[in-house]
């Protein structure tokens, strides 16, 4: 089978994979009507996963864990088993947002349980279709597989208490990957309060992509993030977003750069902003 040397796979490589067996293609497209859109048209052979119900365990109170808390490892293992994925399966994931949404989240989750053979389609579904990958409305059958053995999340995670301790410590770095207008507190389309965590810097996840929606080259990404990290070790760096989804896009970019993956704060702004924590808003910035 084609070699896997990067967490990203180009559409041309994906076309070549069609000749092989033993790999699984996942549609992780998210947003209103995503499942209906999948049922109408998806990359041929792709199985669908849902961010809200399968890649997260949403709690009644968003203040506890944010909008998209991780599911338990056991629940995730059950999902992988239903998808016909076992530890040696090669998994390729795409979404309808240039890989900037749930595809990156699923990639992180697989890497976090030690699954090595997982890649995200650079440019997402749009790039695959443009390259000539066939589209289908047929939902593929899943071949039975043994239960996937998952014990715990093995990639580093940060919680709200850790962010409390380190956010304003120069030895550490908290990176907010949301769009700059949200970070600046100009407006907030999803959460209750607009602003950011004091001490956090803003490196929007969209800056990982070029003007055509593809990831920057590994060399450019490496130069960019070595500059951002400024010599700090991965364990002293935490990446967050609104709810722990697009933060994974930046972690994917870091991995594509050949760098070690920093910590993920899953609760992100959706949790922080609901817990009476200090916040930098447009109003209090104006008074400082």
User: In the chain, where does DSSP find H-type helix?
Assistant: 11-17, 34-40, 51-54, 73-82, 102-112, 124-130, 160-166, 180-183, 218-229, 247-256, 268-272, 282-286
Cβ atoms of 174 and 201 within 8 Å: the answer is yes
**DSSP-derived secondary structure for 165-207:** HHTT-TTSEEEE-S-HHHHTTS--SSSSS--B-TT-EE--GGG
Based on the residue annotation, tell me whether 241 is a catalytic residue of this protein. Answer: yes
Cβ atoms of 260 and 153 within 8 Å: the answer is no
Question: What's the angle, vertex CA 94, arms to CA 92 and CA 97, rounded to 5?
Answer: 160
Note the Cα 196 to chain centre separation in Å.
20
Note the Cα 192 to chain centre separation in Å.
22
Helix (H, G, I), strand (E, B) or coil at 153: coil
Choose the catalytic residue: 241, 248, 254, 264: 241
How far apart, in whole angstroms, are the C-alpha atoms of residue 53 and residue 73?
Answer: 14
Please list, in sequence order, all residues whose beta carbon lies within 8 angstroms of the beta carbon of residue 90, skipping any fewer than 6 positions away. Answer: 1, 4, 22, 23, 24, 117, 118, 119
- What b/e string do you get for 46-59 counting C-beta neighbours within 10 Å, with b at 16 or more? bbbbbbeebbbeee
Q: Which residues are the active-site residues? A: 241
């Amino acid at each position: 089978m084609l070699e896997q040397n990067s967490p990203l796979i180009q559409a041309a490589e994906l076309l070549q994979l069609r000749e092989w067996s033993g790999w699984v293609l996942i549609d992780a497209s998210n947003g209103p009507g995503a499942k209906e859109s999948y049922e109408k048209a998806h990359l041929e052979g792709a199985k669908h996963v849902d961010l809200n119900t399968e890649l997260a365990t949403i709690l009644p109170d968003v203040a506890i864990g944010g909008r998209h808390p991780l599911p338990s490892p056991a629940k995730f293992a059950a999902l992988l088993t239903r998808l016909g994925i076992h530890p040696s399966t090669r998994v390729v994931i795409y979404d309808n947002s240039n890989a900037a949404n749930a595809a990156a989240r699923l990639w992180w989750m697989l890497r976090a349980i030690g699954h090595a053979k997982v890649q995200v389609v650079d440019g997402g579904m749009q790039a695959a279709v443009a390259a000539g990958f066939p589209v289908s409305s047929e939902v593929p059958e899943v071949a039975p597989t043994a239960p996937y053995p998952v014990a715990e999340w093995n990639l580093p995670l940060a919680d709200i208490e850790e962010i409390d301790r380190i956010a304003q410590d120069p030895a550490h770095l908290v990176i907010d990957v949301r769009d700059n207008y949200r970070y600046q507190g100009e407006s907030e389309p999803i959460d209750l309060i607009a602003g950011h965590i004091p001490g956090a810097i803003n490196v929007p996840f969209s800056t990982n992509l070029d003007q055509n929606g593809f990831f920057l080259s590994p060399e450019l990404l490496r130069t960019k993030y070595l500059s951002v990290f400024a010599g700090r070790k991965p364990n002293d760096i935490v990446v967050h977003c609104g709810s722990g989804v697009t933060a994974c896009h930046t972690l994917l970019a870091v991995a594509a750069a050949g760098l070690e993956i920093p910590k993920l704060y899953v609760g992100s702004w959706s949790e922080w902003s609901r817990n009476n924590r200090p916040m930098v808003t447009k109003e209090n910035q104006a008074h400082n």
